[in-house]
Structure 1
Amino acid sequence: MPTLSEVVKRDHARITDAYHVLVETKPEERNADEFVWALARYLIVENLALIPALEYHISGGSERQRRLSDDYNSINAKLRHMAKYDPSEESFESALKAIWVDLEPHIREETDGDLDELERKMEPEDSRKLGQKYETLRDMLQRPYGAFGVPNAEIMDDVLGTTKEQLMERMGNGI
């Protein structure tokens, strides 16, 4: 069973790869679904699994939790904004790069600091349990979506607009 850090780093890699594919693809051939959905799932699951662990296990964790919450709000708003544009539009590319301005340092800070510190403070078994929780939550967000497994705009807006408390209620606090 992977640790929490391992599953979060896998998501970081998945999102980074999807971003670079999107940037490197000709505008008229772009399909943003993989990037948008991977990032949306990550934001939600991070908010439910990683942020509480950081707050609980790391001194100064509540300050880091506040900064991560600010990151979440900014990236989420930019993602919702970008989703309004067709990938072939110039505005789409500007919105995509605006997301990366926030997302890249967020990923770097977690990967190079938060996750290592968290692993040092946690028991390995606790980290594996949280890694399982993270994967379970992420998997729950992969299933019930539109044609060809791609969420439509209404579903995406609903998911991105759902508060942490609403998600925890829908998914059950015991996961």
Structure 2
Amino acid sequence: MTPRIMDSIKQDHRDLEAYYDKIVNSKDPDEQTRFQNQFTWELARHSHAEELIVYPAFEKHLKEGHAMAEKDRGEHQAVKEQLKIFQNLKVSDAQFIRTIKDLMEDLAQHIKEEETHDLIKLEEALSAEESENMSKQFGRMKVLVPSRSHPSAPNKPPFETAVGLLTAPIDHVADFFRKFPENTVSPNPSTK
């Protein structure tokens, strides 16, 4: 059975929270690096897919959808800027843990608002079939979008789509040279 869009997004949120916990609770620099890459990979893809699939659905299906989408895009922009800094830090950098904690604090507020308000409103406006189809589109889109943060890129279709399709291959190739955790879904599961 295909999950509804809210379930797919919530699963991404739980994954991000788990990767965050691994980063801040580990004392192993190699493990922290692997989960830093995994966190970045997941959050970048998740954000792009929401902006391309979910936010246009807010605008289409909800009376207050345009305002919701603009607010969420603004929150995403702030998170993308923080993620850009975090993805470029080394575990040995003095600001490594502080940066991920600050990022997660802002992200946690965004997640809470999405899960307790925005996505509930969207689910109420969609049929089960529409929600499941959107969930499929969301998953497919995550394959095509960049896997790193690019905060200066446009955040609305069609320009976000065009820039993302040009940027994504570069990110995806670079991912093959990054370390990722074993036993997680990532672009590079065989790298040790």
TM over 0.5: yes
Task: State which of 48, 69, 72 in structure 2 corresponds to 1:68.
Answer: 72
- Alpha-carbon deviation of 1:84? 2.3
Contact 1:27 1:88 in 2 (8 A): no
1:28 partner letter: P
**Correspondence for 1:109:** 113
- Alpha-carbon deviation of 1:27? 6.0
Contact 1:27 1:89 in 2 (8 A): no
**Number of corresponding residues:** 158
**Are 1:18 and 2:22 an aligned pair?**
no
What is the CA deviation profile of residues 127-155 of structure 1, one whole-angstrom value per residue up to 9, with x for unaligned ones? Answer: 1111111010012348xxxxxxxx7xxxx
Q: Could you say what secondary structure the match of 1:90 adopts?
A: coil
Unaligned runs of 5+ in 2: 166-192
Q: Could you say what secondary structure the match of 2:41 adopts?
A: helix
Q: Could you say what secondary structure the match of 1:26 adopts?
A: coil
Structure-1 separation of matches of 2:3 and 2:90: 37
Q: Could you say what secondary structure the match of 1:2 adopts?
A: coil
Task: State which of 134, 153, 161 in structure 2 corresponds to 1:168.
Answer: 161
Structure-1 separation of matches of 2:59 and 2:107: 20
**Correspondence for 1:148:** none
Task: State which of 95, 99, 104 in structure 2 corresponds to 1:95.
Answer: 99
**Correspondence for 1:121:** 125
Larger helix proportion, structure 1 or 2?
Answer: 1
1:11 partner letter: D
Contact 1:71 1:106 in 2 (8 A): yes
**Correspondence for 1:140:** 144
TM-score with structure 2 length normalisation? 0.75
- Alpha-carbon deviation of 1:161? 4.6
1:100 partner letter: M
Percent identity between the two aligned chains: 23
Structure-1 separation of matches of 2:28 and 2:92: 4
- Alpha-carbon deviation of 1:90? 2.0
Q: Could you say what secondary structure the match of 2:95 adopts?
A: helix
Instruction: Kindly report the root-mean-square deviation, in angstroms, between the aligned alpha carbons of the 2 structures.
Output: 2.0
Structure-1 separation of matches of 2:105 and 2:26: 19
* Segment drifting more, 54-63 vs 123-132: 54-63
Structure-1 separation of matches of 2:14 and 2:20: 10
Contact 1:27 1:87 in 2 (8 A): no
Contact 1:40 1:160 in 2 (8 A): no
TM-score with structure 1 length normalisation? 0.81
